[in-house]
Amino acid sequence: MFNITLSELLLDMVKICPRCGTPNNDFSPMCVRCGYQFPPPTGYNPPPYVPPAGYTPPPFGKKKKSTPIVAVVVLVILVLAIGGYLYYKGVFTPARAPVAPSTVVSTYTSIMTTTVQPTTSTTTVQPTQTSTTVQPTTSTTTTVQPTPTSTSPPVTLEDLNCAVSFNGKDQYFIAPIFTTILNGKNTSLGMFSYIAMKYHEETIAVRAYLTPNTSGVLIGLSANTLPPSSPHYGWASLVYMSHGELIMAEYSYAKYQLFKVGVGSPVNGQVTYGMNVSITSPGFYWVVLEEWTNNNSTYFAGYINGQLIAELYAQAANASTLFGCSPPYNTRCPIEFSLIGTGYTEFWPMTNDQFPSWCPFNGSINSIVVYPYVLNHSQIAQLSNNTAPGGYFALFTASSKWYNQATGTWQAYNNPQLELTGRGDSHLITE
The Cβ-side half-sphere exposure at 192, using a 13 Å CA radius, reads 34
Total structural domains in the chain? Answer: 2
409 & 277 share domain: yes
What does pTM read for this prediction? 0.67
Within a domain: 315: yes
Q: How far is the CA of 365 from the CAs of 51, 159, 207, in angstroms?
A: 99, 12, 6
DSSP lists the bridge partners of residue 115 as 278
Q: Does residue 402 share a domain with residue 274?
A: yes
Instruction: Judge whether 324 lies within some domain.
Output: yes
Does 90 map to a domain?
no
Indicate whether 235 and 344 sit together in one domain: yes
- Contact indicator for 348, 358 with CB cutoff of 8 Å: no
In a domain, 107, yes or no: no
**Nearest-CA neighbor of 348 among 267, 227, 282?**
267
User: 393 and 305 share a domain?
Assistant: yes
* Same-domain status, 173 and 25: no
If asked whether residues 27 and 125 sit together in one domain, one would say no
Domain carrying residue 214: 114-430
Shared domain check, 353 and 209: yes
In a domain, 56, yes or no: no
For every one of its 431 residues, what pLDDT tens digit does the chain have, with 9 covering 90 and above?
444 444 444 445 677 888 887 787 776 777 877 777 777 665 545 555 566 666 565 554 444 445 567 677 777 787 777 766 554 444 433 333 333 333 332 222 222 233 444 533 333 334 443 333 333 333 333 344 444 445 689 999 988 999 999 999 999 999 999 998 887 888 899 999 999 999 999 999 999 999 999 999 999 999 999 999 988 888 889 999 998 999 999 887 788 888 999 999 888 765 578 899 999 999 999 999 999 998 889 999 999 999 999 999 999 888 888 988 766 555 568 899 999 999 998 777 776 555 678 999 999 999 999 999 999 999 999 999 999 999 999 999 999 899 998 899 999 999 989 999 999 987 888 87
Same domain (yes/no): 120, 251: yes
Residues 31 and 138 in one domain: no
Distances from the Cα of 238 to the Cα of 222, 223, 396, angstroms: 11, 14, 19
Based on the fold, state whether residues 189 and 315 are members of the same structural domain: yes
User: Which amino acid is located at 61 in the chain?
Assistant: G
Could you tell me if residue 325 is inside a domain? yes
Dihedral angle sign, alpha carbons of residues 107, 112, 113, 119: positive
Domain assignment present for residue 70? The answer is no
* In a domain? residue 108: no
